[in-house]
Every structure is written in structure tokens, then in C-alpha cells.
Copies of this chain bind each other. A is one copy, B any other.
Amino acid sequence: MRTLFNEELQQVADDLVTLASAVNVAVQNAGKALFDCDIEIAQSVIDNDKKIDSLEHSINNHCVTLLAKQSPVATDLRIVVSAMSVASLLERMGDLARHIAEIARTTFPDSPLAPQVEEVFHKMQSFTQETTEKLVRILGDQDEKAAQDLIIRDDEMDKLFESVYTIARSDEWNATTEQTIDTVLLSRYYERIGDHSVSIARRMVYTVSGFDPSKDPTHFIGVDKDGD
């Protein structure tokens, strides 16, 4: 019974890594769609989101079955409950990558970005991509240190997002209303991908060590740092 449970738990863990990898690809391709104005890649991100949804659905079902059949307690229970939460967060990150691709598709063949914010969006893309790559490794290796690093770098991310608004609010901002709308939405989507990554890293630390790195339990258990 125990061996079976461990095998099933390993399957859930493997599926989470598969899901995180799919989200990582979606984020990378959303960036390509946005910066290269590539409508085919944009469409592939949009189409592939269904697979991400379906994988999350399957992980969730698997976890509920595990709860029903194996009645785990203590650490095992914590792992299963966390897996459901992480899967749900990854699914939302996939949706956000899809939203970025949808905006790129809408403005094609033009870029939705005003030239003034292109550089900061490139930085946001690099940062976000690096983060989702890390998530794949964190989930695969249960690397608590990498998770802690990701949590610590949260402020760095927030500053990047803030700088978009600073540029858009400055007197030098001369973008069209259309560009302003897309800039705000895109910035929000990147910000939320970052927030969800941090929430996953927090979950991960909690699952491995039982320690809540945010110190404030409501911050952690609520999963969503910033709320959306």
C-alpha cells in the first residue's frame, strides 16, 4: 500500500514538472510572439493552453483520488494539498501567457508596445522566463535553496513592474491610448506570472521544510501574495 502510494505521489510530482515545463514554454513563446510580432507563435501559445488546462485537471483529479483511496496524513497530506494548489497556480500562469499572446495577435503585424517601454518589457520577459525555468528545476529537484532565492528576488521583480508605470506616467510618455491600454494589461500579466511563481516557491518551501518563509502565515497559506 505504501509503495503504491509513493509511486502515485511520484507520478503527481512528475506531472507537476511536466506542467511547469509547459508553462515555461508558454512564457518563452509569449515573449517571442510579443517581441518578434510572430502571429504563428502567438497562436501556438493560445492553442497549447488547452493542454495546460487539461494537465492541471488531471493532476487535480489524481490528487483527489489519492486523498480518497490513501487517506494521507502529516507530510504526505501536505504534499498532496500543495500539489493541487501548485497545479492551479501553474494553470493560471499558462492563462496569463495566453493573454500576452492574445494581445500580440490582436495588434499584429504591429507591436502592442510603445518604443519607450520596450526595454523594460524585455527585462521583464528575461526575468519572468528565468523564473519559470527555475520553477521547473525547483519542482523537479525539490531544491529548497533555489525556491528561497526566488522568493528573495521578489522585490527586484516588483521594481521592474513599477518602472513601467513610472514611464507611462511621465511627461515624456507619448504613446497612443491603445498602446497605453496594452502596456498596462501586459504589465499586469507579467506581474501576476511573477506573483504566482513566488507563491509556488513558498508552497514548495513549506512542503519540504514545514517552514513558512513569509513568516506571516496568512501570506503563505493564502498562496496569492497580491491577489487577483
Contacts and interface: CB of A to CB of B under 8 A. Distances in A.
Contact of A221 (B60, B168, B177): B60
Interface stretch (A8-16, A142-150, A154-162, A180-188): A180-188
A4 interface: no
A53 interface: yes
Interface of A: 50, 53-54, 56-57, 60-61, 64, 67-68, 71, 73-74, 77-78, 81, 84-85, 88, 91-92, 94-96, 98-99, 165, 168-169, 173, 177-178, 180-181, 184-185, 188-189, 192, 217-219, 221-224, 226-228
15 contacts: A54-B218, A57-B217, A64-B77, A64-B78, A88-B223, A91-B224, A92-B227, A95-B226, A95-B227, A96-B227, A96-B228, A98-B227, A99-B227, A169-B181, A228-B228
